[in-house]
Every structure is written in structure tokens, then in C-alpha cells.
Structure 1
Amino acid sequence: MTVLTDPPKESFRLSMLIYDTRYRSLTIQAVAIIGFLALLAWLVSNTAQNLAALGKPIDFGFLTEPAGYDINQRLIDYTSQSSHLRAAFVGLLNTLLVAALGCALATILGVIIGVLRLSKNWIISRLMTVYIEGFRNVPVLLWIVFFMAILIETLPAPRDFRGDTPDASMFLFDSVAITNRGVYVPEPLFSRGLGDFSVFGAFNISIELIALLIVLGLGIWAAARVKTRADRIQAATGTRPTTWYLRAALIVLPPVLLLWALGFYLGYPALKGFNFQGGTYMRNSLIALWLALSLYTAAFIAEAVRAGILSVSRGQTEAAYALGLSPNRTMNMVILPQALRVIIPPLISQYLNLTKNSSLAIAVGYMDITGTLGGITLNQTGRELESILLLMLVYLAISLSISTVMNWYNNRVKLVER
């Protein structure tokens, strides 16, 4: 009788890290990583030694020193005696403001223009083509300067609102003033405010704003649960209950009730002296930068939307129509879910490009993070290396955050094949 046994396992030897194909790739990667880290450590050490020899050791203490300069557009309290760190934070908020406004407007315009370019109306489709090709083939910096020049040269000055100048009149029941210095809109105020909340002692956040965001977030979450329940009912019975009014009420009514409880009212701008006082002031530099980045990026998003819609087979649309689905329902339930897997990846890149292009704000005098930390602070303190390193880390963190959120959304809406 013959007994079969497993052959003895070969013991591990160091030579196997080089000659055995099972370990060779890991060895090469480990050596490459060690070499890269060694080179990086040498560069950092050599830079630190050279700076120390020049009497400029790496030191971030300059962030606590008084900034000594003003910032024309800001979302939080700031004076020239505030620290460089606070000035950098004001610039960061300005960057995030432009990025958020730009991404929102660019997405709306990009979707509309991308759909209109597929219109069967020859004039509309050609006009959208002219728009896309015009904006995509001109540098965004020129568009920023162009919009700034239009706002400065064509809009009336605040003093013109005192006379009978036909073009110098306020809009929306005398609540909005559009001038060559900027736009003045009503300011939200509360008669029964809850005060401010200090974050790390660096800046204050309105408790009313926090409460409003929480209530709005809960309303959106509840509306999403209602939609999910309607989807389950439709999948089980084939009939979809009408829920749009309930979802709209869940999103709109709670914030409205909260605003009423807080005594919400609007503070209107008024002409006093040579300029408007009161209300919320948006400088022309912010508006020009916002419009230029939005319209420029919308042209690229429109092409991504068009490509995504064209990637869906025509037979899908015809089958949906044959089942009795309306055009809107076909777009929402058949075309867009399949087109999103083509649209979202380039959309992420466009969001990142818009955010990084906002660093061109210094061309029109808008003080973003590049203009504060990478501009005036750098020149005043002479801390080039520290300022640039911090600036790079800020843009890296913003870009990674956008990528993470959009990738999560991409995985959330991804089609699940059976």
C-alpha cells in the first residue's frame, strides 16, 4: 500500500527576495520607497541647513504677528491688527466661497447647456456650440479681467443714484443696488438672536446659522427617506405615490418656522454720503471672478453632460417611451442614472480645476488665500518657504476633500448590475 504525502515546504531564504518571482516585486517596491524617502529626507535636511546658514531657519511664528494690512472682502471680523494666521483664514474662506458658488453655478449652467446642445432646434444647438467653443478656447484669466472691466465701466457709480440718471435705479422694490463698486443686497437680521459661538477663540459662528443648517439638513434627510419609501412602493406595486409636495414641505417649512421664531427680517442698503451703507456687500472682484470661473467651467461640464447622454443607447429611450413613461420621467429614471457614470469622473476634474483657478483672483484684487498667505504675508514676513508650503497644503486638502466627496457620490449613484 502506497501512502502519498505532501512534499516538504521550502524554507525561506534571503536570496528568494531577489530570485523568487513571488517576492521580487515586493523587494523592488520596498527599495524604491526607501530610496524616495531617503531622497526626500536629504532635500528637507539640506534645505533646513541652508536656510539656517542664511539666518532664516524654518519657523512658523510669523503667523502670530500682526498682519498690518486690510482685506476688502471678508466673511468674519478682521482688522489690520489681526494676526497673519487670521488673515490667511479670511483668505481661505474667500477661496471656499468662490469655489462653492462657482461649482454650483457651473453645474447648473453646464447641465442646461449640455442638454440644449442636443436640441433638435438648429439655432439653439448652434448657439450652445458657439458658447462652448468660445469659452473653452480663451484663457480663463482673460475672461476674469474682461468681466471685471465690464462691471467697472458699464455700471453706474453710487453717486448717480442721487440724481435722475435712468440707469441708476435700485431693483426688487429698492432692495438691491448694482454699482461699479459692487452689489448691495439685503442683509439677514434677527430680532431674537441667539448670539455667537466661538471656535478655538479664532472666529465666531452665528448660532442662528448653525441652527438653520441643522434644521435644513434634517429636512433634506427626511425628504430623502420619503423618496426611498416611494421607490420601494414603486418597485413592489408598479405604482409610484405622489410625494413631491411632502418632500418640499419637509425641506422648506422647518427653516421657515425657525426663521419666524428667531424674528427674521431684512436690513436694506441705503445711500448715505458717497456710498451705500447697510446690507450685504459683494465687491465687483468677487462677482467678476465668480461669473468668469462659472461660465468658463460650465463649457467643459456641458461637454461632459452631452457625452454622458449620448453614451446611453437610443433604444433605452424608445423602450421607456413604449412603456408609457413621460420624457421627464425617462430622463430622470432611465437616461441620467446611466449617464452619470460617464459625467461624474470629468465633473470631479472640473470642480478641482475651478477651485485651483480661483488663485487667479489676485488679478482683479480679490483677496483669497493666495493673495493673503501667498501674497502680502509672504512679502511682508519674507517667509517664502513656510508660506508656500502652507499654501500648497491648503490647496491639497481642499482638492482631496472635493475628490473624496465626489467619489463617494459617484459610488452612491453607481448602477448595481444584477
Structure 2
Amino acid sequence: MARRSLAWQALILASLALLGCLLVDTTASRLQERGIRSGFDFLLEPAGFALGESLLPFEASDSTLRAFAAGLLNTLRVALPGAVLAVLIGVIVGFGRLADNPLVRGLATAFVNGVRNVPLLLHLLAWYFILTDLLPAADAALPLAPGVFLSKSGLALPWWGEAGWEVPVPAGFGIDGGARLTPEYLAMLIGLSLYAAAYIAETLRGAVQALPPGQRLSALALGMTPRQAFTLVLLPQAWRAALPPVTSQLLNLFKNASLAVAIGYPDLVSVAGTSLNQTGRAIECLAVVIAVYLLLSLLAAALSHGLERRSLRGMPA
């Protein structure tokens, strides 16, 4: 039976590969008949456009492939910290949803219901409006901490620069020194992390409430506080059941980062759209984006399966 199953899987994969080759060949033939250039040679040609911000040094004369790499780094730059913040906030809000204090429980419930019932795009646009229209200008930046300033220009932070450790200071009409987090980046980070955190909180709440009630009562009887009972007894057990849906939410966070084009953050999809307008290679640009997101999703799924197997190791069958 195992050999027959493997044979069927191999046959299905071969059929899909053949179908894909026929589709690519047919598409290339039709494009050639209409005089439309095709192929991925444009990736090595100069991009012809600049990026508003990038971790990877990039100029308009650099290749389009480097532009895609810069866009990918921008996507990871907002998605990875967003995933960490989403899990942390989700755990805190999930604990709040189960708290004995009615005020804490009500605030956590209001957060979850308020965030989940508004589309993510509206969240991003709202945060972008708050950061760019309601905050003061750079010459009147809000001091959040020593060397940390928030204004319409973004968030200024101490950072290690070419001259050593740089601390932002007000100077003239702006802030000098340190590093800058742009309003576009901050809107994406806040919007993505809070949106995913609301779903993660509900997932953890459901997983905790699915546990036998005696678990919490036993922990409290041993002298633990409600917080200790949640973090030391309930959360580790609930996390095993919540891991697959939490991973799905984090995957959605990565894919939802493609909405960055709506507020002007130069992520992978934004770079692909600009490259499409520059070169006219719609199929190729879309293929690159699809391949990258598919690869990221497969890597995240493999990591999730590894964590799930590790969390189940040693448990009774």
C-alpha cells in the first residue's frame, strides 16, 4: 500500500509538472505571436526607479533583481518583528480575556472585538493617518524617552552609526542623529501586529478553556497566583493545541504585509508593481512574488511542524 501511495504521488507530481510546462510554453508562444517580450532577463537590467527606504543599499542604476531583494528585506523587516509582537500581545490579551478582574476582561474583550471586526486595510490607513496627520511636526517632536522622539517624520531612536553610538537630539527644524523608523513602517508594524494579536488571543483563550478546569484550580490550590497558573500551568498545555492555528495567523501576517502598497511602504509587492510598470513583464513579476511567498509559507509551515513535533515529544500516546 505504501509503494502504491508513493507511485500515485509521483504520478500526480509528474502530471502537474507536465501541465505547468505546457502552460508556460503556450503562454510564451501567445506572447511571441503578439510581439510582447517575455522572460526573466529584465531582472539583470537597471531598475530605473528608487526606493523610499531599504535596508539594502539601492539606487536606480542597480538591477531589478536587487530591487526585488530590497523589497523582500523590507517585507521581512516588518513581518518578523510584527510576528514577535503579535505573539506577545496575543498572550497578554488572551490572559486578559480569562482574568477574574471584570475591567481587565472587558478591556481585553473590547480590544479583540474592535480589532477583528474592522478590515486590516482600514487599520493600516487609520494608523498611517494618525502618524502622518495627528502627530506634531519634527521640530516639535514628542519626547517618549531619553533620545527617543516621535513626530510626523517617524520615530527617532538611538543607533550605532559611522561615528559610534548616536543619540537623536532636536536641532533646527528636525531631529539629528540616531536612526529613523518612517511613518509607513510604523503603520505597517502596528497594524499587522495588533490585527494578528487579536486572533492569536482568541485562539489561546479557546485552547485554555478547552483544558480541564481542575488544572487551574489545582494550581491555585498550590498557592499560585492567577498569572502564575496561566503562564506556568495552562499556557504550556494550551500552546500545543494552539500552535497550528497560531502559525496560520502568523502566515497570514506575512501575506498581509502585501497591503503595504496602500500606504507607500516599499515591500516586495510594491517593488513588483513598479517593475511591472517599468518593463511590462506582468507574468514574470507576478511569478517572482508568488514564488517568494510560497517559499516563505513552506518554510514557516516546516518550522511549525518541527515545533509541533518537539512540543509533543515525551507526551503519552
Structure 2 length-normalised TM? 0.90
Residue pairs, 1:4-403, within 5 angstroms = 35-158=15-138, 160-161=139-140, 168-173=141-146, 175-189=147-161, 265-272=164-171, 274-322=173-221, 330-372=229-271, 374-403=272-301
For residue 145 of structure 2, what is the amino acid of its counterpart? L
Equivalent residues of 1:64, 1:83 under 8 A apart? yes
Report the alpha carbon displacement of residue 322 of structure 1 after superposing the two structures with TM.
4.5
**Distance of 1:74 and 1:288 partners within structure 2:** 16
Report the alpha carbon displacement of residue 45 of structure 1 after superposing the two structures with TM.
1.5
Equivalent residues of 2:158, 2:167 under 8 A apart? yes
Q: State the Cα deviation string for residues 315-370 of structure 1 (Å, max 9, x = none).
A: 12333445566655544443223211221111000000001000000111100001
Report the alpha carbon displacement of residue 25 of structure 1 after superposing the two structures with TM.
7.7
Partner SS, residue 170 of structure 1: strand
Structure 2 portions without partners, runs of 5+: none
**Distance of 1:107 and 1:97 partners within structure 2:** 16
For residue 153 of structure 2, what is the amino acid of its counterpart? R
Report the alpha carbon displacement of residue 35 of structure 1 after superposing the two structures with TM.
4.6
**Distance of 1:413 and 1:24 partners within structure 2:** 32
Report the alpha carbon displacement of residue 156 of structure 1 after superposing the two structures with TM.
1.1
**Distance of 1:300 and 1:63 partners within structure 2:** 38
Report the alpha carbon displacement of residue 42 of structure 1 after superposing the two structures with TM.
2.1
Q: State the Cα deviation string for residues 187-220 of structure 1 (Å, max 9, x = none).
A: 12477xxxxxxxxxxxxxxxxxxxxxxxxxxxxx
Report the alpha carbon displacement of residue 80 of structure 1 after superposing the two structures with TM.
1.9
Equivalent residues of 2:136, 2:142 under 8 A apart? no
Report the alpha carbon displacement of residue 303 of structure 1 after superposing the two structures with TM.
0.3
- Counterparts in 2 of 1:29 and 1:385: CA distance versus 1, 3 Å: same
Structure 1 portions without partners, runs of 5+: 1-20, 162-167, 192-264
- Counterparts in 2 of 1:29 and 1:71: CA distance versus 1, 3 Å: closer
**Distance of 1:123 and 1:169 partners within structure 2:** 30
Partner SS, residue 72 of structure 1: coil
**Distance of 1:396 and 1:70 partners within structure 2:** 26
- Counterparts in 2 of 1:272 and 1:64: CA distance versus 1, 3 Å: farther
For residue 93 of structure 1, what is the amino acid of its counterpart? L
Report the alpha carbon displacement of residue 301 of structure 1 after superposing the two structures with TM.
0.3
Report the alpha carbon displacement of residue 411 of structure 1 after superposing the two structures with TM.
1.5
Structure 1 length-normalised TM? 0.70
**Distance of 1:133 and 1:115 partners within structure 2:** 15
Equivalent residues of 1:307, 1:342 under 8 A apart? no
**Distance of 2:62 and 2:5 partners within structure 1:** 54
The structure whose Rg is larger is 1
For residue 217 of structure 2, what is the amino acid of its counterpart? E
- Counterparts in 2 of 1:133 and 1:171: CA distance versus 1, 3 Å: closer
**Distance of 1:361 and 1:147 partners within structure 2:** 12
Number of residue-to-residue matches in the alignment: 316
For residue 277 of structure 2, what is the amino acid of its counterpart? N
Q: State the Cα deviation string for residues 4-23 of structure 1 (Å, max 9, x = none).
A: xxxxxxxxxxxxxxxxx999
For residue 392 of structure 1, what is the amino acid of its counterpart? I
- Counterparts in 2 of 1:307 and 1:90: CA distance versus 1, 3 Å: same
Equivalent residues of 1:136, 1:300 under 8 A apart? yes
- The aligned residue for residue 414 of structure 1 is 312
**Distance of 2:9 and 2:84 partners within structure 1:** 42
**Distance of 1:177 and 1:29 partners within structure 2:** 57
Report the alpha carbon displacement of residue 298 of structure 1 after superposing the two structures with TM.
0.7
| C-alpha RMSD of the superposition | 2.5
**Distance of 2:262 and 2:301 partners within structure 1:** 27
Q: State the Cα deviation string for residues 46-85 of structure 1 (Å, max 9, x = none).
A: 1111122223353212112222222112112112221111
Partner SS, residue 77 of structure 1: coil
**Distance of 2:142 and 2:214 partners within structure 1:** 54
Equivalent residues of 1:337, 1:413 under 8 A apart? no
- Counterparts in 2 of 1:154 and 1:32: CA distance versus 1, 3 Å: closer
**Distance of 2:79 and 2:189 partners within structure 1:** 8
- Counterparts in 2 of 1:81 and 1:300: CA distance versus 1, 3 Å: same
Q: State the Cα deviation string for residues 268-309 of structure 1 (Å, max 9, x = none).
A: 234555443331111101001111111111110000110111
Q: State the Cα deviation string for residues 230-259 of structure 1 (Å, max 9, x = none).
A: xxxxxxxxxxxxxxxxxxxxxxxxxxxxxx
- The aligned residue for residue 14 of structure 1 is none
- Counterparts in 2 of 1:337 and 1:414: CA distance versus 1, 3 Å: farther
Percent sequence identity over aligned pairs = 38
**Distance of 1:83 and 1:273 partners within structure 2:** 38
- Counterparts in 2 of 1:118 and 1:267: CA distance versus 1, 3 Å: same
